[in-house]
Amino acid sequence: MLNNRDILITGGTGSFGKRMVKTILERYKPNRLIVFSRDELKQFEMAQHFSEQEHPCMRYFIGDVRDQQRLYEAFTHVDVVIHAAALKQVPVAEYNPFEAILTNVIGAQNVIRAAIHHKVKKVVALSTDKAVGPVNLYGATKLCSDKLFIASQAMRGNEEILISVVRYGNVVGSRGSVVPFFCKMKKTGVIPITDERMTRFSISLQDGVALVMKTLDIMRGGEIFVPKIPSYHILDVAKAIAPDARIDNVGIRPGEKLHEMMIPADDSRHTIEFDDYYMILPSTTSMEEKETIMGERGGKLCEDGFSYASDTNNDWLTVEQLREIVEKETSLPEY
């Protein structure tokens, strides 16, 4: 699928980008694998592990998705773009709203324009459950980004580019997530919990990469792919990491929800269920097109009013399962 292709990953020095690069190098032989990001130190460190000498396909481009001209330069002769660049910390986005908009919205627009201009074959953009019914600016910017990528299928004109979105929940152990924070706080003997009722979706970094790989393989363009993944109670994560620590209830932070959602009820009539994922189709998709997709892949249309939320999920992680996941994810090498 990716052999002899020119692949570019925006935000390529982040947790997802590094795992994606590692997976591609292990499984495929790309012509070029371009890491596009704005942090020269992170690129320098990454190049120590994935050097151009050991991996001649590797390229490291300094640039920002806010800079449309730089994207135009970087996208030259690129076949596949994986858009992972984003400002994703909820409190940071609340405090720096203009910056979040510039990266997450204007950056998405720039990626789309550069991809269409250079006739990129496939674009997959990473999204988040916080884009559904957003209550914080980060979620609102990602909702806007999702809408831009989906609408871009109509903007492409006669170009054959395919553009889709992947949406999933909290990535266990990723930078800035709750797991490394709880592991750090374990040393103090006190774990701060915003609300004991809080639930979240959970996915491993490797499963997130696998979903993107699958999307690149089966995408038709204009869909949002949502994996079937388990939920957890935030209190159970604390118990799994620091069972003897005292729990300190600190209250929900600005922009946080008690529960997250990946498919709202209003999208149910456009959603097809498969064994291990859901596919949200554009609202303009005809019933005939839906039936064709279901016939090809064996899916079924979701019932009207169906929603997929972390608190009503049928699949839950136990404390013991969470402990095993945390131990596995935190013991994995960064590269």
Please tell me the distance from the alpha carbon of residue 303 to that of residue 265, in angstroms, as a whole number. 9
The 10s digit of each residue's pLDDT in 266-291 is 999 999 999 999 999 998 899 999 99
Q: What contacts 232, CB < 8 A, 6 or more positions away?
A: 199, 200, 202, 316, 317, 322
Which pLDDT value is given to residue 280?
Answer: 97
pLDDT > 70 fraction of the chain, expressed in percent and rounded:
99
Mean pLDDT of the chain: 94
Please tell me the distance from the alpha carbon of residue 53 to that of residue 327, in angstroms, as a whole number. 33
Catalytic annotation, residues: 130
Q: State the maximum Cα–Cα separation within the chain, in Å, rounded to a whole number.
A: 61
Which pLDDT value is given to residue 329?
Answer: 83
Continuous segment of H or E residues that includes residue 101: helix 97-101
pLDDT higher than 70, residue 3: yes
The 10s digit of each residue's pLDDT in 203-247 is 999 999 999 999 999 999 999 999 999 999 999 999 999 999 999
Domains with residue ranges and CATH for the chain: 6-169+203-228 (3.40.50.720)
The beta strands (E) that lie in the chain are given as: 6-10, 32-37, 58-62, 80-83, 122-128, 162-168, 170-171, 190-193, 199-203, 224-227, 231-233, 246-249, 261-263, 271-273, 277-280, 300-301, 308-309
The 10s digit of each residue's pLDDT in 162-200 is 999 999 998 987 776 788 889 899 999 999 999 999 999
| Band of pLDDT at residue 23, cut at 50, 70 and 90 | very high
Q: Which of 227, 209, 208, 234 is nearest to 311 (CA)?
A: 234
| Band of pLDDT at residue 50, cut at 50, 70 and 90 | very high
What DSSP character marks residue 316?
B
What DSSP character marks residue 40?
H
Which pLDDT value is given to residue 158?
Answer: 65
The predicted model gives 141-147 an average pLDDT of 97
Which pLDDT value is given to residue 1?
Answer: 86
Which pLDDT value is given to residue 334?
Answer: 76
The DSSP-derived string for 107-152 is: HHHHHHHHHHHTT-SEEEEEEEGGGSS--SHHHHHHHHHHHHHHHH
